[in-house]
Amino acid sequence: MKKLKLSTTHIIMLSFLVLIMLGAVLLMLPISSASGTATPFVDALFTATTATCVTGLVVVPTFSAWSTFGHVIILLLIQIGGLGVITVLAAFSMMLHRKMGLSDRLLVQDAFNLDSLAGLGVFVKKVVKGTFVVEGVGALLYMTVFVPDFGVRGIWVSVFNSISAFCNAGIDIFAADSLCSYATNPVINLVTSLLIVVGGLGFIVWWDVIRIIKGRISGSRIGVKSLTLHSKIVLITTAVLLVGGGLLFLLLEYNNPLTIKDMPLYNKIQVAFFQSVTTRTAGFMSVPQENLTNASAVLSLILMFIGGSPVGTAGGVKTVTVVAIIASAVASVKNKDSVDLFNRSITRQTVSKAIAVVCMSGLIVVASTLLLSFVTPAVSVIDVAFETVSATATVGLSRSLTSTLNDVGKLIIIATMYFGRVGPISLAVALNLRKQNTSIIKNPTEDIRVG
C-alpha cells in the first residue's frame, strides 16, 4: 500500500483545522460556559474558528458567555493562531533542545512564506521573544486604565486584550460593544492602535528597522535608504493607508449624528483614526459599524480586504501584494518590460503570485457573499458583504449581523474564516516553486485582447 505523503501546504492547513476542532471540543464542555451548561457544537466551533483564525466575529458575547476557563481556551487559540501552529510547535521543540530537521525547516519556511532555509531556528526564537515582549508591554500599559476600572481583574483583562490586539484578533472580555465605551480614551486608543500596527507590520520588517536603529546608535552611517525593498513598501504603504484612511473617515463621518458629529474635534480625530487602524484586520470597534455612512462602510471594505503586511499577525491580501499589482499595472501603462519600485525590479513571478492571492481572496468573498445572501434574504447586501469581507480578511468587524445568523449562516462564515486564514497563504506557498520547470515542450503562443 502506497504511503500517503502530505505536502507542507497540506500540513499547515491541517494544523489549523486540528486546532480548531480541539478548541471546539473544549469550548463545548460545561466548564467553558459561564452558565455551566454545554455549548451547542456550532457555536463552539464558530468561537474556536474565530479565535484560531484571529478574526473576531462572535455569535455570543465573549465577556459574558464564557467562564474563565473558556476565556483561557480562547486566548490560547488566539495566541497559537496568531503566531501559527507550526511556529508554536517549532518553538516548543527547540525548548526541549531538539534540533530542527529539514522537514521542520521546510514547514516554518512555508508557514512564513520565506525564501531561505538559513537561520530559521533563530528566526522562530526572535519571533516568539519579540511577541511576548510587545504583548507584555501592551498589557502593562493597558493596566493603567483597566486596573482602576476593574480592580484586580483588570490585570487579566489587560493581558487578554494585549494578546488579542497584537494578534489582530479583536476579541475582548469586558464589554458587549467592544471598545465603544473607551472610544475617546487616548491611552486605550493609542495602545490598541500600536499593538495592531506592530503586529500587522510583519516580523521581518521589525528586524530590518531594529538593524537600522542599532546601526545609528553605534555611530554607523546606515540610514533609512538601507531598508530592504520589502520594508520600504510595507512602512510607506501602511503609513499612507492609516493616515489616508483616517482622514477619509473623518471627512465621511464628520456630520454623522450616529457616530462622531457631536464630539469635539480631538475626539473625532481619535475615532476616525482608530477606525482606519482597526479595519487593518484588528476587529475592535469604537463606534457601532452599522451606524457608519454607506461611504465609510465601502471604505472599510477596501481597507479590510487589503489588510496588514506579510509575515505578521494580520490578515487580508496584504499591503505588499496590492502594491505589486499596482506597480505592475503602472508598468503596463508605461509599456515597460520591468516592474520597478525604489530603483529595484520586482520579478514577474512575484506579480503573478500577488494576482493569484487577490483573485483567490476575491473568489472567497464572492462565493461566501452569494451563499450568505441566499440564506439571509432579508439582510441588506452591504451588511452581508461587510460580514464576508471581514471574515475572509480575518478582521472581525460586523454590522451586528453575526449574532443573528442561523446555523447554516454560521457554517458559511466558519468556512470563510478558515479559507480566508489559510487559503491565500497556502496558495502563495503552493506557487512558491523551488524547481523551475525545465520542460522544453511549450504550447504555441497566440495573442488575446485585454481591456
**Residue 282 confidence class, pLDDT cut points 50, 70, 90:** confident
In a domain, 177, yes or no: yes
Q: In whole numbers, what is the pLDDT of the chain averaged over residues?
A: 87
pTM of the model: 0.89
pLDDT at position 50, please?
95
For residue 372, being part of any structural domain is answered with: yes
CA torsion 5-52-75-71 (nearest 10°) is -110
Q: Report how far apart, in Å, the C-alpha atoms of 355 and of each of 24, 205, 317 are.
A: 34, 23, 10
pLDDT tens-digit profile of 60-75? 999 999 999 999 999 9
Give residue 243's pLDDT.
96
Residue 417 — very low, low, confident or very high, per pLDDT cuts 50/70/90? very high
Q: In the prediction, which pLDDT does 444 show?
A: 76
Distance of CA 9 to the CA centre of its chain: 19
pLDDT number for residue 143: 97
Is residue 440 a part of any domain in this protein? no
Task: Find out whether 164 and 172 touch, Cβ atoms under 8 Å.
Answer: yes
Q: Greater confidence, 217 or 251?
A: 251
Secondary structure element (H or E) that encloses residue 346, with its range:
strand 344-346
Contact call for residues 368 and 392 (beta carbons, < 8 A): yes
Q: Is the pLDDT higher at 132 or at 217?
A: 132
Residue 203: is its pLDDT beyond 80?
A: yes
Q: Transcribe 19-44 into DSSP letters.
A: HHHHHHHHHHSGGGBTTSSPPPHHHH
The reported pLDDT for the residue numbered 411 is 97
Average pLDDT over residues 361-385: 95
Q: Is residue 80 part of a domain?
A: yes
State the total domains in the chain. Answer: 1
- Residue 103 is predicted with a pLDDT of 60
Whether the per-residue pLDDT at 148 is higher than 80: the answer is yes
For every residue of 222-241, DSSP letters joined together read --GGGS-HHHHHHHHHHHHH
Q: CA-to-CA distance for 329 and 174, rounded, in angstroms?
A: 46
Nearest CA to 365 among 431, 306, 308? 306
With cell 508598468, the residue in question is 331
Residue 451 lies in a domain: no
Closest by CA position to 273, among listed 237, 239, 243 = 243
Radius of gyration of the chain (CA): 22
Say which range, 100-114, 142-156, 173-187, 219-233, has the weakest mean pLDDT: 100-114
> Residue 437: pLDDT above 60?
no
pLDDT at res. 401: 95
Q: Count CA atoms closer than 13 A to 343's CA, side-chain side.
A: 4
Whether residue 95 is contained in a domain is answered as yes
How do beta strands 339-341 and 344-346 pair? antiparallel
C-alpha distance from residue 118 to each of 98, 125, 420, 435 (Å): 17, 14, 29, 18
**pLDDT above 90 covers what percent of the chain?**
61
Band of pLDDT at residue 115, cut at 50, 70 and 90:
low
Reading the block at residue 206, the C-alpha cell is 521589525
In whole angstroms, what is the distance from residue 285 CA to residue 407 CA?
Answer: 25
pLDDT of 139 reads 97
Do residues 188 and 300 lie in contact, with contact meaning Cβ atoms separated by under 8 Å?
A: no
Domain assignment of residue 265, given as a range: 8-430
Ranking 121-135, 249-263, 270-284, 394-408 by mean pLDDT, the lowest is 121-135
The pLDDT score that the predictor gives to residue 429 is 53
What SS3 string covers 92-152? HHHHCCCCCCHHHHHHHHHHHCCCCCCCHHHHHHHHHHHHHHHHHHHHHHHHHHHHHHHCC
Residue 435: pLDDT band (50, 70, 90) is very low
Q: Model confidence over 79-111: pLDDT tens digits? A: 998 887 777 767 666 666 666 665 656 666 655
Is 102 a member of any domain? Answer: yes
Ranking 215-219, 226-230, 267-271, 400-404 by mean pLDDT, the lowest is 215-219
Q: What is the pLDDT of residue 122?
A: 76
Tell me whether residue 438 is in a domain. Answer: no
Say which DSSP state 181 is in. G
